[in-house]
Amino acid sequence: MGEFKTILVTGGSGLVGRAIRTVVEAENRTDEKWVFVNSKDADLCDLSATRELFGKHKPSHVVHLAAMVGGLFHNMSHNLDFLRNNLHMNDNVLQVSHETGVKKVVSCLSTCIFPDKTSYPIDETMIHNGPPHASNFGYSYAKRMIDVMNRAYHEQHGCLFTSVVPCNVFGPHDNYNLESSHVIPGLIRKLHDVIAGEGTTFTVLGTGKPLRQFIYSLDLARLFLWVLRDYNEVEPIILSVDEEAEVSIRQVAEELARAFDFKGEIAFDTTKADGQYKKTASNAKLRKYLPDFQFTPFSVAIKESVDWYRENSANARN
Ligand code: NAP
Ligand code: GDP
């Protein structure tokens, strides 16, 4: 155990924030005070509200998760909002962290901000190598600027502001809104509704062929804690399952059908977009640091996520 830390988690009510909360509450450490905040505590697009929030909690460390986040379809229709909201939030959080002497900030990028035309697997050195996929360029450029700012704060002021790059995340407390959700929570919601309505067809958007790496939010939370406590590079680090764990959207739908014990038909609406075909990322850097880290098997994590939604659908973010 090191010196006492007060850790402010922005975006503390979201999918990743709730998972970190679950893990730190189970640890119950006495040398860390965790404060989880959301947009009701402060609109981080507003600089003075951000200053007030930091003045109130006086964090020594910040886990910056707050962001406008959404799946493929929400990104396609709101690129400007994704760009502006995320640029404002990130600039405010990093600037106020600097002003108030925060010792370390860990922010969140994503494997979906990498160049569209790239060689595979993608690694941490390739973030700025070319334009992102057109479907989410607003989110991508805003996220890429976090890495640019981290380097600039380090160069000019010596700050330890770093970032992690998760692949597609899923788990309890996700966003299940069909307009804005990522694929797994969207399909959980859809299948739940099909079964409730005694339907026999589960319709997946697109061809089902795109490939994705998915990380369980509770695994990501354990990795986040390691980054906060022990990773001291400014350069980003990819937090993803292994390359061999990549699955197609069709396999995701089949795993969900198993978890729900759904015996009906799985159909594909090929009039809907597929987005980027794949974004295969290498976790070699992570594996160098943590060769023995065990990810929860996909089928187990899917089952737990489905069971959570079945129990909590009435109060979930639908
Ligand atoms: P989420 O479930 O959508 O939660 C977003 C969080 O940000 C919520 O706590 C929300 O607060 C907060 N927030 C949004 N706008 C805000 C504002 N203007 N001021 C203050 N707080 C605001 O997101 P998530 O999936 O947990 O994502 C967490 C981080 O991981 C994000 O930086 C995201 O880019 C990154 N990431 C996510 C994925 C993924 O698949 N989900 C993949 C890679 C990276 P309210 O609850 O009050 O709205
Ligand atoms: P991405 O990984 O950043 O592209 O974002 P998503 O989590 O939204 O995954 C998008 C992929 O899942 C695309 O290939 C979509 O065609 C496919 N998909 C299938 N059904 C759905 C759905 O109901 N919602 C979403 N968001 N994507 C879906």
pLDDT higher than threshold 90 for residue 258 = yes
Asked if residue 157 and residue 52 are part of one domain, the reply reads yes
Tens digit of pLDDT for each residue in 107-153?
999 999 999 999 999 999 999 999 999 999 999 999 999 999 999 99
pLDDT higher than threshold 70 for residue 1 = no
Q: What is the CATH number of the domain that holds 264?
A: 3.90.25.10
Query: Is the model's pTM score more than 0.95?
Result: yes
Asked if residue 98 and residue 27 are part of one domain, the reply reads yes
> Would you tell me the crossing angle of helices 249-260 and 298-312 to the nearest 10 degrees?
60
Tens digit of pLDDT for each residue in 167-180?
999 999 999 999 88
139 is catalytic: yes
Domain that holds residue 274: 172-212+244-280+297-312
For residue 29, what are the contacts with CB-CB under 8 A and spacing of at least 6?
A: 1
Asked if residue 57 and residue 181 are part of one domain, the reply reads no
For atom 20 of ligand 2, the residue with the nearest CA is 205
Q: Is residue 198 part of a domain?
A: yes
Asked if residue 186 and residue 51 are part of one domain, the reply reads no
Asked if residue 202 and residue 179 are part of one domain, the reply reads yes
How many Å apart are CA 224 and CA 256, to the nearest integer? 26
Question: Mean pLDDT across the stretch 263-283?
Answer: 95
Mean pLDDT of the chain: 97
Asked if residue 185 and residue 121 are part of one domain, the reply reads no
Mutation test residue for ligand 1: of 37, 69, 78, 84, the one with most atoms within 8 Å of CB: 69
Structurally, the chain folds into a number of domains equal to: 2
Asked if residue 219 and residue 102 are part of one domain, the reply reads yes
Asked if residue 158 and residue 103 are part of one domain, the reply reads yes
Asked if residue 198 and residue 161 are part of one domain, the reply reads no
Q: Is residue 318 part of a domain?
A: no
Asked if residue 204 and residue 123 are part of one domain, the reply reads no
Could you tell me if the CB of 206 is within 6 A of ligand 2? Answer: yes
Asked if residue 110 and residue 72 are part of one domain, the reply reads yes
Local confidence band at 84 (pLDDT 50, 70, 90 cut-offs): very high
Asked if residue 234 and residue 88 are part of one domain, the reply reads yes
Q: What is the CATH number of the domain that holds 115?
A: 3.40.50.720
Could you tell me if the CB of 220 is within 6 A of ligand 2? Answer: no
Tens digit of pLDDT for each residue in 113-126?
999 999 999 999 99
User: What is the reported pLDDT for 249?
Assistant: 98
Q: Is residue 285 part of a domain?
A: no
